[in-house]
Structure 1
Amino acid sequence: MTIAYPSPNPPLQSKVCHSPPRHVLAICYSQSGDAARCAKAFLTPLKEAGAVVDEEWIKPIPAYPFPWKSVLRFFDVMPDCILGKAPSIEEPQFDPDLPYDLVILFYQVWFLAPSLPLVGFFNHPKSRVLNGRATITVVVCRNMWMVATAEVNRWLAKLKATHLDNLVVTHQGPIWATFITTPRYLLFGRRDRLWNLFPEPGVGESELGRVREFGNTLAKQLDQLVPGRTQPFFTGLDATRIEDKYILPELIGSRLFRFWASVILAMGRLGGRYLRSVAVGLFVLNLVCGIVLGIPILFVFRILAYPLLRPVLQSYKMEMRAPSEPRPVDAAKHPETIDVIG
């Protein structure tokens, strides 16, 4: 009988080094559900890659209704959006002192401004979680997002966040269609195809697929998420997708919104709720006229004046592509070209 003895020098066992899981904090407010769908699409690949994801859902006090069901109630929040008068929010459940490797903010655009619940979070003491932390923003909007993004960027700078990337998610359909489908969805909650001619409102499946791809891109680079990282994850992937035709209408619209916000507040102080409602109605009428008449005129003006506007518009465009795309050297040296129209 042969007896097998253990080798006096057994082979060395190879040691497999596993990096610790990354801890991610996702902060989101979703009124209509689109931002929630985008958050799920983006975060699922991170969870599958082993990241520990804490999800914090902002809850404003009082809650904003969906659907709004009232035109006046819907447009009555415009002054607060433009002037940054944020609501209180319920106490967030996350611990801001936990060693999160990454914070992801999912937010919407309301009246060319960051949604009020997000601003409410920025005003909350627990927003200190952003201090020194790598941060990615995901903005969900109809098609105009740059003015709101500039405001969010200012908040992130104030809170000393390390802003790595900005991903822009837009509603499906051409601009003329979303003028109908988005208000119909927000006011009445109708997500079907109007007359079977218009696209469904909100974020479509193809755009959700794009969001998932960006989540996959980030998931593949989680091991590169180290303290002090300043390099973007999405460089060269067209995370912002800026359309030149929206730049001037958005910039001019934001100035007009600011004017009307002041008018509505002044009317409210003079005559209470009744005069404020009258001012809101006049704003809605002005907005409809501006969309029907002003935007086509503005598009023609942009074509005719483009040779003169091009340097300023290009500088602003490159500024808005940051942080995922590096700023051009000349824009960094001459930020006053941005301020002319910003």
Structure 2
Amino acid sequence: MDKNILAVYYTQSGQLKQILDNFVQPFIDAGHTVEFLEIKPTKPFPFPWPIADFFDTVPESVEVIPTSLQPWETKRNQYDLVILGWQPWNLSPSIPFNSIMQDEKFKAIIKDTPVITISGCRNMWINAQEKNKKLIHAAGARLVGNIALVDRHLNHLSYVTIFHWLGTGRKDRKWGIFPKPGVSDEDIRGASRFGEVVKDFLQKNSWDGLQESLQQLGAARVKYSLMFIERKAGKIFQKWVNIINKYPQKRKKILVLYKYYLAIALLVASPIILLVDLLFFRAFLQKRIKRQMEYYRGVAYHPEIHA
């Protein structure tokens, strides 16, 4: 029996649409109907994106504050599966994505519907995915699968290359030395293998065991060092936003300080903190670490684990 699938996405660079095109190809090949819905803010976010303008999104993305969207329509009011294509901004779902997730019309479409999240990002996605889980839960939908495609290069390198891509719009090698930014072409093409797995579960009308099958293909890899940094950074980001909210007239100046703080914290402080953790704490927290990593690989929503 043919299925009706809605693939929702927001993209500035076009990378996420490429990922989705590959992901849904097995559904199309099997004769299922795939409808795309592109999220378009009323006031578009540019690409290339001036770095100062990117950092100006920090308060709204961290606090999951929606923006207005252009009018949109879907061909159906209900689907057999909804695919949510998204990207993190500032360890949170991007503003356009959080906006459609809080749209009452869209929430009615995904209510009581299985949904799959698929993202393309630098390398940190677990904080944002927790916020996604909360939004999905609030909409009454059921998260059955999660796929996170990331830049596989070292954290320090990808920090440099992502801003090169963001500021220039070019997905090439900075100075001819650094690696290419973003999700690799190989991983983008390889998104189809995840779609093949999801298609089989869709045709069986059962989602039990889907995320475990996706994990076996590396769908949601959790690296301890990044998890450690991200869990701490999420709380720090919120503190910066609290300062901005307290002194809104100084927003631009505070965001300049935040930008430099972020660079120092990520490139200088985090390696030191990770070393201290390795030497003095990690060995005594193995059960807790294992529980956290297994949770983030999965699709269950338990806020107390993330806290």
TM-score norm. by structure 1 comes to 0.84
| Coordinate RMSD, CA, aligned | 1.8
State the AA in 1 paired with 2:14.
G
Which residue does 1:63 correspond to in 2?
44
Are the counterparts in 2 of residues 92 and 126 from structure 1 also a CA contact under 8 Å? Answer: no
1:23 aligns with 2:4: yes
Which residue does 1:54 correspond to in 2?
35
Q: How does 1:1-342 map to 2 (within 5 A)?
A: 20-69=1-50, 71-95=51-75, 97-98=77-78, 100-127=79-106, 128-224=108-204, 226=205, 229-236=206-213, 237=216, 238-268=218-248, 271=249, 275-304=250-279, 305-323=281-299, 336=304, 338-339=305-306, 342=307
Are the counterparts in 2 of residues 96 and 126 from structure 1 also a CA contact under 8 Å? Answer: no
CA 115–23 in structure 1, closer or farther in 2 if over 3 Å, else same: same
Quote the sequence identity (%).
26
Tell me, in whole angstroms, the C-alpha distance in 1 between the residues paired with 2:176 and 2:238: 37
| Structure 1: 5+ residue stretches without partners | 1-19
Cα deviation 1:13-65 (Å, max 9, x = unaligned): xxxxxxx2110011111112111111111012211111101100001121111
Are the counterparts in 2 of residues 74 and 187 from structure 1 also a CA contact under 8 Å? Answer: no
Cα deviation 1:188-226 (Å, max 9, x = unaligned): 2121112322111111122113311111222344421x3
Tell me, in whole angstroms, the C-alpha distance in 2 between the residues paired with 1:140 and 1:152: 14
Residue 155 of structure 1 and its aligned partner are, at CA, apart by: 1.1
Are the counterparts in 2 of residues 27 and 58 from structure 1 also a CA contact under 8 Å? Answer: yes
State the AA in 2 paired with 1:140.
G
Are the counterparts in 2 of residues 82 and 113 from structure 1 also a CA contact under 8 Å? Answer: yes
State the AA in 1 paired with 2:83.
I
Q: Which has the higher helix share?
A: 2
Tell me, in whole angstroms, the C-alpha distance in 1 between the residues paired with 2:123 and 2:274: 16
| Structure 2: 5+ residue stretches without partners | none
Which residue does 1:5 correspond to in 2?
none
Cα deviation 1:105-143 (Å, max 9, x = unaligned): 000000000111111001112221111111111022111
Tell me, in whole angstroms, the C-alpha distance in 2 between the residues paired with 1:210 and 1:234: 17
Are the counterparts in 1 of residues 66 and 95 from structure 2 also a CA contact under 8 Å? Answer: yes
**Which secondary structure state, in structure 1, belongs to the residue aligned with residue 48 of structure 2?**
coil
Tell me, in whole angstroms, the C-alpha distance in 2 between the residues paired with 1:182 and 1:78: 16
Cα deviation 1:156-182 (Å, max 9, x = unaligned): 111111211101110242222101100
**Which secondary structure state, in structure 2, belongs to the residue aligned with residue 89 of structure 1?**
coil
Task: Look at both structures and tell me which one has the larger radius of gyration over its CA atoms.
Answer: 1
Are the counterparts in 1 of residues 201 and 207 from structure 2 also a CA contact under 8 Å? Answer: no
Tell me, in whole angstroms, the C-alpha distance in 2 between the residues paired with 1:96 and 1:261: 39
Are the counterparts in 2 of residues 138 and 168 from structure 1 also a CA contact under 8 Å? Answer: yes
